[in-house]
Amino acid sequence: MYNLPITIMWSGQPFPLGATWDGGGVNFALFSAHAEAVHLCIFDAAGRHELQRLEIKTRTDDVWHCYLPQARPGMLYGYRVHGPYRPQDGHRFNAHKLLIDPYVKSLAGEIEWSDAHFGYRIGHDNQDLSFDRSDNARAMPKCRVVDPAYDWGDDQPPRIPWPDTVIYETHVKGFTMRHPAVPPELRGTYAGLASAPAIEHFRRLGITAVELMPVHAFAHDRHLIDRNLCNYWGYNSLAFLAPEPRYAATGRVTEFKTMVKALHAAGIEVILDVVYNHTAEGNQLGPTLSLRGIDNVSYYRLVSGNPRYYMDFTGCGNTLRTANPRVLQLVRDSLRYWVEEMHVDGFRFDLAVALTRGANNVEMSSAFLDEIARDPVLSQVKLIAEPWDLGLGGYQLGGFPRGWGEWNDRYRDTLRAFGKADADTIGQFATRFTGSSDLYERSGRAPYSSINFITSHDGFTLHDLVSYNAKHNEANLEGNRDGNDNNLSWNCGAEGPTDDSAVNALRRRQKRNFLTMLFLSQGVPMLLGGDEIGRTQGGNNNAYCQDNEISWLNWNLGDEERQLLGFVRRLIRLRSRRSAFHRDKFFQGRPVRPSGLRDIIWFNPQGREMDQESWRQSQARCLGVFLAGDPVERRPGRHPSPADKLWHWLISWVRSAVRSKLPEETRVPGIALLKRLVHWILFQLRANADGSILILLNANHEPVTFSIPALDERLVWSPLIDTFYEDGRKSFAQLDPGDNYCLYGRSIAVLHTRRNKRFLPGTLASK
């Protein structure tokens, strides 16, 4: 691996930061503007014993650097940084603490919690103003030098256009821990997520991207460990460039790369949920693990005039100081590493607003946003903001620049309220269902700027949303005080599990309703992993510390779960095949060619267009919407529809067949006849595969008779979905304009156009 003791040390280079293997040795570079000395510590293969301590003597522009020609990949190391310990001035240097390299790309071992990890003496009257001299090295994770070489073969990013994207939010460990078809040794790992059963599920479901909850190396909080819990979700970053080692069956960084490669081969993008807003070091009473001991003043936002304390816009004790160019560089370098070296396709930024703050206020022209916009790599990947933090002015939904998607919590809350039949919701429902134009259109953004979700990791699962009125977080051992009390949930008549068949049937219908609204809305749908198979957390809406069966997906599927899974597959397939459900422009209410009908029309149950009075009715809970089908122009890079493929094939076939088979004198009329036949076939395909849509929604508990609008006598309607039925299917021949449709209580029907046979092209009736 490498020879000890290290006898040769060269000055090396200040760039790149971190430990970099170049084939002949390793360059080490660490930024610290206020350090007085830096020591590189080298450990044995087990990471238990410090074998050598080397003083780094070369400093260039506040970067301490050296080059070790005898070092090799696999070497374990850490830093000790000397400087003043004056918390009242913001400085918290303590060379008794081994520190993690901010640019480390692989970690070995875990934190073994003890008082030694704190820079001050726990229990001292002066708290963090005291100084602790105990050494924590033995109980700290060690940094590992990596060899970045990897054979990516022909791996290419899928580059799914935003409007065609369907996101699946999941947890690397929780997805496969209980999957019987995944080998036991791979469950809960990157390799498990890349296994054939996992990828087969994604492919058959029809999603285009997995959004992975944090995979940056993170720390379990001491107070959780003390209660036999852990930080399962992982929003507690320890190292921004290192994949979480507990998810690697092999213990190697290459396992993550292999996972990405396998998902790409299946046409699935990989989006990472990243936490750059804070770190695991907490507030002034937190441990000294990395940035705090390297240069506290540079890396963290401190209270002006009292730098002993931290500005906390995150609720986690500290906030990263991205206004500092070196800290911004760390974030940017981390992002680029995950794109260029790990081949990920995008990022969801946790509490993204915290990264945009200047001296105090939110700045949407911040260096962070500007840096990403100008970066030739990062500006080309999918960027998603959680558009808020906990500080003053921190709610910025709709405020991010073009090119960004945003988690739309107004969509979530509005559809939850409409789904449980709250009053005064139809106007907001219509706005959210059609892409939230009030948030995005004025600034020149598109419907796909809205990341739509009914449920996410943070809150109830879909099953629990329709099964509980209140949270049940007792397992978190916080007296059920944690988690949100405002869930906009409804238990359908009984709290939690019940044997009442009517309640259970209503819950199943409500799940179908929410899923139908989600996948047929304009914007980018995000499905919470497990909602497609009825996953429950037993009413826990804050399962951040539950690394157990509360959080893990249950793959023991009964008939009910299989039926729901089949329904979700149908919905996603329907969405992907119908351009009306994933437009790249907002509806305008204007006529579209060739039908002359407006692109969207809202109706009341009588089949009449909604007027202002209809929208103002506070008790209105039933409405319908007409969505015009193609001719929306096809977007560059969008996958051709089946009708498009068949069209090109038939034209090619007609030309070759006519030229080779027909005599010269019959070629012209023969081509005309066959072309007419091709046009008729294509007309039927597009009428059925990408025609107009009529969606009828009834949030009331009573059935409603809905009159089919008289839009065009040439159009008749056939069923695609009716959520009242367990399989989501209702069979009838067709509906003509003016016919009545019985829309049962708390159900949604989706109809599509078929061309009336009396008006087929070329028939006498149509002439």
Q: Give the residue numbers annotated as catalytic, written as ranges.
A: 350, 386
Quick check: helix, strand or coil at residue 283? Answer: coil
Q: 171: buried, middle or exposed (CB in 10 Å: 19+, 13-18, 0-12)?
A: buried
Report d(CA 762, CA 680) in Å as an integer. 9
- With tokens 């004198």, the residue in question is 665
Tally DSSP H helices, then E strands, for the chain: 17, 28
Is residue 663 reached through a cis peptide bond, with omega within 30 degrees of 0 on the bond before it? no
Report the 10 Å Cβ neighbour count for 659: 11
Neighbours of 702 (CB within 10 A): 10
Rg (CA), the chain: 29
Burial of 679 per CB tally in 10 Å (0-12, 13-18, 19+): middle
Burial of 682 (0-12, 13-18, 19+ CB in 10 A): middle
Asked if the peptide bond before residue 214 counts as cis, ω within 30 degrees of 0, the response is no
Measured CA to CA in angstroms, residue 477 lies from 280, 472, 559 at distances of: 21, 11, 34
SS3 assignment, position 741? strand
How do 740-743 and 704-707 pair as beta strands?
antiparallel
Full DSSP string of 83-152: --EEGGGTEE--TTS-B--TT-S-EES-----GGGSSS-TT-TTGGGS------GGGS-EEE--------
Residue among 358, 413, 359, 362 nearest 390 (CA) = 362
710 near 658, Cβ under 8 Å? no
Residues 6+ apart with CB under 8 A from 636: none
How large is the angle between the packed helices 367-374 and 325-340, nearest 10 degrees?
A: 40
Do 489 and 455 form a contact (C-beta atoms < 8 A)?
no
Q: The dihedral of CA 168, 170, 176, 178: what is its sign?
A: negative
Q: Provide the 10 A C-beta neighbour count for residue 503.
A: 16
| DSSP character string of 235-250 | -SEEEEEEE-GGG-SS
Cα atoms in the 13 Å half-sphere on the side-chain side of 10: 12
Considering only CA atoms, which of 731, 649, 730, 639 is closest in space to residue 690? 639
- Output the DSSP codes for 640-693: PPHHHHHHHHHHHHHHHHHHHHS-GGGHHHHHHHHHHHHHHHHHHHHHHHS--E
Q: How far apart are CA 180 and CA 187, in angstroms?
A: 9
For 452, the enclosing helix (H) or strand (E) is: strand 450-452
- H or E element, residue 718: strand 715-722
Tokens 């660490």 label which residue? 30
CB 709 within 8 A of CB 626: yes
